[in-house]
Amino acid sequence: MRPIVWIVASIAAIASVNFISGRLDWQWDLTEDRRYTLTRATREILQGLDREVYIDVLLDEQDPPGIKRLRDATEELLREFQRRSPYITYGFTNPNEGTTEEINIARRSLAQKGIRPTTLTVRSSTGTETRLIYPWVIIREGMNEVPVSILENVWGYNQEENINLSINLLEYKIMRGIRRILQTKKKKLVFLQGHGELDKAKLTALRYVLHDFYAMGFLNLDSTGFIPPQIDIVVIPGGTRPFSEKHKFAIDQYLMQGGKVIWMIEGVGVSLDSLRGRDEFMALARDLNIHDQLFRYGIRLTDKLVLDLECTRIPQVVGVLDGKPQIEMFPWFYHILAIPSEQHVTVRNLDRVNLFFPTVLDTVRTKVPVRKTVLLHSSPHSRYVNCPARIGFDILQIPIDPKRFDKGPLPVAILLEGRLPSLYEGRVSPKMEEALQAYGYRFRPIGEKEGALAVISDVDFIKSVKNTRTQKYFPLGYNPWEKQVFRGGRDFILNLIEYMTDKEGILQARAKDIRLRMLDTVRAQSERLYWQVINLLLPIAAFFAIGMSLWLLRRYYFAGVKKA
């Protein structure tokens, strides 16, 4: 009788556990890098969904192994999304399936949506073949749809590293697309004007990538005198003329109210266009009348122009053949490939950022605690020259001694966060305060809320470049000399704006770091027989041990029953 009771109790316990666990929303993520745990912002957005969102993945099970790993990771993530919200559905579409005519129609349709294929060379036992794959997802809600590229191609990374980075960013990219398609209210962003900043035309490419998320406008402080606190973020795109004290005061008091400012500064008056038609150019520091203000907040501007061995190239005529100029590409050390700092969420897992004639930034101690974070810096193989400095193409003809490039890494983009101290503390008279109050404002000697100020020592990386043949603008990050798009600059400015306007948002998903655990091929080959024996014999031995244990327990039990 006792065995029957024990069996019935075991079955009832198992059934109860299954019943309860099937109705509880929980899971254990035992991975070291928490790869199966969604960020808080992602969970909140999914749980707040009230509309059907369909995600179409344009990948196939027959794709090469690395891409298949990306496909499987995407499916795992979407399955977790679906577990969090019944409004999430997904499926898979292979654009390369069907007749030749059907495939061509599908490809043309995708191209009209801005979805371009990636070419992969696949090696097999029969040789190599070239395949076109579409590492994209299309997010649909009603009649609206948003295409999202899920494959990264970072400069200097091999295929495995790019696949791993793509998996890292899956949650962030897909959630950003979902938020974009559901967004009803946009953040307010203004570009400051009046000091020689980039104008509307030069900001075309940047405004194009921002228009889905931000309501944008232009602000000249001559007409307003103040920056309304309702503005979520102010972008100052360069400037060639000094800032007046009135304008500095307006920026200062906006920051004291918890404002967010991105200040792109051209500290030295030089560009490649400066050398057009001449052999050399004298680079002079610009007097923008902002050194004291930034110093007060915790940043010191310098007149040190950065040179880096890790840079992009420019074309130069090296001779004439049959009346045609012969052009070669040479490294131009002033066009650096800045390295993101891995310690901050805005630049983690980010590609290099192509900056043009940046200057060195430095941090200084402030009156009150301010968090200072270097976002971008030059490579370890960099140095600087003090301005005024003579810039010429003769540097391309001189053999480069790498030992001279020993001053890096040098900061070129810094983020300040906290209750910033005002530049005008102790400088505002009672009469000025009365005038401010008449307009509904009051002076704040220190930040009442946490503000944020990002300073970048270049603005050309966001400048729009027009295609003279089509009269259309190239994508943001286009380098007209290399004739390619450096996506790091675009992603950097987008991430920075998103972080400063929504610090606790989905950008936190970029902080995930799913490490690539590569197999030690040398060790695997040398210990091959050992691990084969372990994998083959250990399971058999384990099953044998379990079976013998159960047989002995059963024999012992029934022996006791007989004695009784």
Rg (CA), the chain: 30
Distance CA 475, CA 204 (A): 9
Bridge partners (DSSP) listed for residue 92: 57
- For 239, list phi and psi in degrees, rounded to 5: 135, 135
Read off the amino acid at residue 491: D
Distance CA 167, CA 146 (A): 19
Distance CA 444, CA 256 (A): 6
Contact 57, 137 (CB under 8 A): yes
Cβ atoms within 10 Å, residue 315:
14
For residue 53, what are the contacts with CB-CB under 8 A and spacing of at least 6? 87, 88, 89, 139, 140, 141, 178, 181, 182
Dihedral of the alpha carbons of 150, 343, 154, 310, in degrees to the nearest 10: 160
Contact 66, 159 (CB under 8 A): yes
Q: pLDDT at position 32, please?
A: 47
Q: Comparing C-alpha atoms, which of 245, 246, 284, 288 is closest to residue 263?
A: 288
Distance CA 430, CA 435 (A): 9
Flag residues of the chain having pLDDT under 50: 1, 30, 32-33, 516-518
- For 340, list phi and psi in degrees, rounded to 5: -70, 145
Contact 475, 490 (CB under 8 A): yes
Indicate the DSSP class of residue 341: P
Cis peptide bond N-terminal to 421, omega within 30: no
Indicate the DSSP class of residue 238: B
- For 464, list phi and psi in degrees, rounded to 5: -75, 140
Q: pLDDT at position 112, please?
A: 86
Q: Comparing C-alpha atoms, which of 298, 332, 276 is closest to residue 421?
A: 298
Dihedral of the alpha carbons of 383, 386, 388, 391, in degrees to the nearest 10: -10
Q: Comparing C-alpha atoms, which of 419, 422, 424 is closest to residue 452?
A: 419
Read off the amino acid at residue 274: S
Instruction: Give burial (CB, 10 Å; 0-12/13-18/19+) of 76.
Output: middle
Which domains does the chain show, CATH number per domain? 42-181 (3.40.30), 185-503 (3.40.50)
Q: pLDDT at position 452, please?
A: 95
- pTM summary value: 0.78
Helix (H/G/I), strand (E/B), else coil: 195: coil
Contact 506, 371 (CB under 8 A): no
Residue bearing tokens 């009346």: 323
For residue 450, what are the contacts with CB-CB under 8 A and spacing of at least 6? 258, 417, 418, 419
Q: What is the pLDDT of residues 155-183, one digit of tens each?
A: 667 777 778 888 888 888 888 888 888 87
Q: pLDDT at position 169, please?
A: 84
**Structure token pair of residue 466:** 């027009």
